Amino acid sequence: MKLQSWDELKKYRDDTKDETSLLSDDSKTTILAVGEATCGIAAGAKEVADALQAEIEKQKLSNVKIIATGCYGCCYAEPMVEVRQPGKDSVYYGYVTPDIAKDIVSKHVANNEILQGNVLNMEVLIP
Amino acid sequence: MTRQIRIALRNCGVIDPENINDYIATGGYDALAKAIFSMSQDDVIDTMKKSGLRGRGGAGFPTGIKWETARKAKSDKKYVLCNADEGDPGAFMDRSVLEGDPHCVLEAMAICGYAIGASEGIIYVRAEYPLAVKRLQIAIDQAKELGLFGENILGSGFSFDIRLYFGAGAFVCGEETSLMNSVQGGRGEPRLKPPFPANVGLWDKPTNINNVETYANVTQIVRNGWEWYRQFGTEKSAGTKVFALAGKVNNVGLVEVPMGTTLREIIYDIGGGIQHHKKFKSAQTGGPSGGCIPAEHLDTPIDYESLIALGSMMGSGGMIVMDEDDCMVGIAKFYLTFTAEESCGKCTPCRIGNMRLLEILTRITEGDGTEDDLKKLESLGQTIKDTALCGLGQSSPNPILSTLHYFYDEYMAHVDEKRCPSGTCTKLVGYKILPEKCTGCTVCARNCPVNCISGERKKTHVIDQKRCIKCGVCFSKCPFKAIIRG
């Protein structure tokens, strides 16, 4: 499909926005964003993503989606996982191992229990 | 805590770079649409000029003026080039942008194409960045499928196409004229400027070439206006700058801060300070073209001018933090080894001059240097800077000149006392076991990688100096501090 005008681009944006990883407040999806830039992959992000997926299947969770993003800048704390839920502030986890990934799904996503010891605090302003 | 402000990195780590809908959902391609449907070519250039954006590849040339020159050049064909040949050791800003948000670079190149009247864009990207290459190609394909590139973009009549060209890894190809020679299939060698690429560029046609990070700022400037962009940064250096923080700092990674932020804020507040609570010695900015900034200048607000005044430069944004264990003569030698190897050999000052500098440095680090050598380093370095053909040679002596300036006493220790104060120049270092402290615990002997330490259990051990490789393992392993370095 080729968009033919600026209005068509805007309409396309509206039509597809629910399928994107940028959640609207009324969305029902939880997004698990894994940093998969070179730094993340080198630190084991693929294994972390696999562990997240396995645990989602094990817990039979629906409406949870894993996406691969780029580098969030905290290369020292890779692999990183961001839990993005509609209407809530994102929670960023650093130094994630496959075991921690499992806990992120079974505790945080399934039971709303944030793993405080693994949370990465940072202040970034996107103007 | 100092807050990062992210403009170039705004989508990195946020969107899925392999899904164009994510990028579009953030308002992506609106800047391109805004430019072609509601702005004239001169409007776009005017916006860029007023924004104060300057080249993020290193030299800091005003982007708007570059675009204007290319716009005014008369030709049937013009090109838009993107310099993604990131080569500074320890720098990875461009890679992260390309891997995390490829569309923002593509969109900016199309905006530039519209502004200067070009219909073809080429991204010169390192073949050593396979993931960036893959994501760029996916992004180009997805955008083409939606009619955001190619013929008649969004039905506007404006056509623009982008393709990739892979660099083979020569450092000099990050220099714009060498880069263009390389795209044309020639050797990666620079040519004289002027004429500048904006007039005589790729295939001798007017060409606009900008760095990845420069383009990454463009879409936000066009979307939000130049006044918006001006609120960040300083009078002469508007906006933000991405730094790749590396070396002996706790939080290695990418940071984006407004121009005018101090080194101390970047290294201590955002970077989390020096590893193992050691003492900060120096920050190297600008890679092999930059210099080393000592502790007394930690509070200087960083912008293009202040870094030059300190004998360094912005460069592409690599920032390598060094602590008390780093030898500044050794650091200068490390960079010189790199530039001497990467010199293309076309001009004499760079080809021969850098080699001579390296020989002198090697002499000094091996204990054969004299005070006269330090004078030679200074005068030869200055001569190379003044006479080399391109940016590589014009800046390659910077690491030496700045360390000579700020750490002269370290050079003097090497030439005068034949001593390396931080103990890293192996030829000047020796390890010795103090008999009165040695308990004969055998830890050193067991850890020595070349088995050159001998002695019976519970008796004093001895290092065979002839076989010692001066790795320092025994020194750091000895539980009784019985081994000294000197």
pLDDT tens digits, B391-437: 999 999 999 999 999 999 999 999 999 999 988 898 888 899 999 99
CA distance A80 to A97: 9
For residue B151, what are its two tokens? 């013929």
- Do B217 and B285 lie in one domain? The reply is no
- Do B72 and B207 lie in one domain? The reply is yes
Q: Which residues contact A60 (CB under 8 A, 6 or more apart)?
A: none
DSSP B297: G
- Do B198 and B253 lie in one domain? The reply is no
**B437, part of any domain:** yes
pLDDT tens readout for residues B39-93: 999 999 999 999 999 999 888 999 999 999 999 999 999 999 999 999 888 899 9
CA distance B261 to A65: 38
**B95, part of any domain:** yes
- Do B267 and B252 lie in one domain? The reply is yes
- Do B41 and B138 lie in one domain? The reply is yes
B262 touches B293 (CB < 8 A): no
CATH (domain of B88): 3.40.50.11540
CATH (domain of B345): 1.20.1440.230
Chain A residues within 8 A of B21 when measuring between CB atoms = 16-17, 19-20
Cβ atoms within 10 Å of B1's Cβ, excluding its own: 9
- Do B178 and B63 lie in one domain? The reply is yes
Identify the helix (H) or strand (E) that includes residue B161.
strand B161-167
CATH (domain of B477): 3.30.70.20
Question: Which pLDDT score, from 0 to 100, does residue B389 have?
Answer: 95
CA distance A77 to B254: 12
Calculate the CA dihedral of residues B103, B289, B90, A32 and round it to 10 degrees.
-20
Tell me if A9 and B29 make a contact (CB, 8 A cut-off): yes
- Do B181 and B68 lie in one domain? The reply is yes
Lowest mean pLDDT among A106-110, A121-125, B23-27, B216-220: A121-125
Rounded mean pLDDT, B290-316: 92
Question: Which pLDDT score, from 0 to 100, does residue B302 have?
Answer: 93
**B11, part of any domain:** no
Tell me if A123 and B26 make a contact (CB, 8 A cut-off): no
Helix, strand or coil, per DSSP, at residue B433: strand
Cα angle B247-B133-A94, degrees, rounded to a multiple of 5: 45
- Do B106 and B79 lie in one domain? The reply is yes
Among B175, B197, B230, give the residue marking a domain's end: B230
Listed residue (B474, B5, B90) closest to B266, CA to CA? B5
Report chain B's C-alpha Rg in angstroms: 25
- Do B412 and B292 lie in one domain? The reply is no
- Do B352 and B272 lie in one domain? The reply is no
Among B368, B384, B416, give the residue marking a domain's end: B416
Rounded mean pLDDT, A16-43: 90
* Amino acid symbol at A49: A
Domains of chain A: 25-114 (3.40.30.10)
Q: Does B33 touch chain A (CB under 8 A)?
A: yes
Among A34, A71, A81, which would you mutate to test the B interface (most chain B Cβ atoms within 10 Å of its Cβ)? A71
**B9, part of any domain:** no
For residue B370, what are its two tokens? 């004299």
Q: Does B9 touch chain A (CB under 8 A)?
A: yes
Chain B residues within 8 A of A40 when measuring between CB atoms = none
Within the 73-92 window of chain B, which residues sit less than 8 Å (CB to CB) from chain A?
92
The answer on pLDDT for B2 being more than 70 is no
DSSP A41: H
CATH (domain of B307): 3.10.20.600
Mean pLDDT of chain B: 95
Q: Does B37 touch chain A (CB under 8 A)?
A: yes
Listed residue (A13, A61, A88, A36) closest to B16, CA to CA? A36
**B447, part of any domain:** yes
Range of the domain at B186: 20-230
- Of chain B, the percentage scoring pLDDT greater than 70 comes to 100
**B3, part of any domain:** no
- pTM (2 d.p.): 0.92
**B8, part of any domain:** no
Among A14, A16, A72, A84, which would you mutate to test the B interface (most chain B Cβ atoms within 10 Å of its Cβ)? A72
Chain A residues within 8 A of B12 when measuring between CB atoms = 37, 69-73
CA distance B59 to B460: 59
Among B294, B323, B352, give the residue marking a domain's end: B323
CA distance A125 to B56: 20
Minimum CA–CA partner of A78 in chain B: B253
Question: Which pLDDT score, from 0 to 100, does residue B316 have?
Answer: 85
pLDDT tens readout for residues B249-267: 999 999 999 999 999 999 9
- 3-state DSSP percent of chain B in helix, strand and coil, to 5: 45, 15, 40
- Do B253 and B393 lie in one domain? The reply is no
Domain count, chain B: 4
Rounded mean pLDDT, B264-278: 94
Report chain A's C-alpha Rg in angstroms: 16
Rounded mean pLDDT, B323-335: 95
Q: Does B10 touch chain A (CB under 8 A)?
A: yes
Residues in chain B: 486
**B299, part of any domain:** yes
- Of chain A, the percentage scoring pLDDT greater than 70 comes to 100
pLDDT tens readout for residues A42-91: 999 999 999 999 999 999 999 999 999 999 999 999 999 999 998 889 99
Q: Directed axis angle between helix B30-38 and helix B102-116, to 10°?
A: 10
DSSP string, B344-392: -SSSHIIIIIHHHHHHHHHHHHTT---HHHHHHHHHHHHHHHHH-SSHH
Listed residue (B57, B124, B127, B3) closest to B318, CA to CA? B57
Complex prediction ipTM: 0.95
User: Where residue B1 falls among pLDDT bands split at 50, 70, 90?
Assistant: very low
- Do B130 and B214 lie in one domain? The reply is yes
